[in-house]
Every structure is written in C-alpha cells, then in structure tokens.
Structure 1
Amino acid sequence: MTDLTVSEDLADRIETRIQDTEFETVDEYAEFVLSEVVTRVEREADRSAESSTSREGVQERLESLGYLEE
C-alpha cells in the first residue's frame, strides 16, 4: 500500500461528501474515485489505440484494393 497526501481543504470537502454514502473514511472515497478515473482513462486509451489500429487497417485495405496510392 502507498500513502497519498491531499490538502486539508480537499480532505474536508471529501469528508462532507461522504456523510450520506457507504464510504466510512476519506481514504475509502479517495481510493474509489481514483480507481474510477484511472479505469476511465485506460478505457479511453484502449479505444484510441483500437481506433488507430482500425484506421491503419482500413487504409492498408483500401491501398491493397487500389483505392489509395501507397
């Protein structure tokens, strides 16, 4: 496990947000939010890579069919 430090202001804001949630500590909430953000960023990166690969494949296919010059 790694320790992470946040400002007092952010910790106070999180403390306010978790009052009516299932989160019992600022740490639990922060870990959940960071996990969600990292997962979203990873998915977007994967989609971007897939899209790039798809474009390359389409371009190669069009070139092989003579629609585009190589």
Structure 2
Amino acid sequence: MQRNPTYPKFVLVFGRRAEYAESELRRSRIDAEERDDFKIITFDSLAEGLYGKRTLWFGVRRAEFMDLQNEEDR
C-alpha cells in the first residue's frame, strides 16, 4: 500500500441552488471553503444533464458482499 498512495477528495452535497443563488454572502462563504480536494455542490447540480451521464450504481454493503439496489437488477 505504501507504493500505491491515495489522495482522497470530498464533495459536500446540500440543499437547492435557490437557497444561495440570491445571497452574495453565502456564495462567498462557499467559495472560501472549497479547495482542490473539497467541493460544495447542490442537489440541483446532480440532476443536471442526468440522461447524458453514466449509470449511477447504488449498493448496500452486507458483510462481505454488496447488494445492488438499482431497478435494472430487480
């Protein structure tokens, strides 16, 4: 593992864009907190262009296995 370093990155997803779009103070606070390894986005941005994005796989870990929860697998 020492020869294969990891560089974690984090994304905080919160609220809707309208909650801060009209507030210069909120926008500046978000910009001040973001870094190369930490981004703040809204739920709106997750839905934009959803059809053009790859399939999102959602799974639940059960002991040593992962149970996929996507509709295609049911």
Answer whether TM exceeds 0.5 for this pair. no
Higher share in strand: 2
Greater RCO structure (CA 8 Å; 6+ sep): 2
Q: Structure 1 or 2: larger helix share?
A: 1
TM-score (norm 2): 0.25
Q: Who wins on radius of gyration, i.e. which is larger?
A: 1
TM-score, normalized by length of structure 1? 0.27
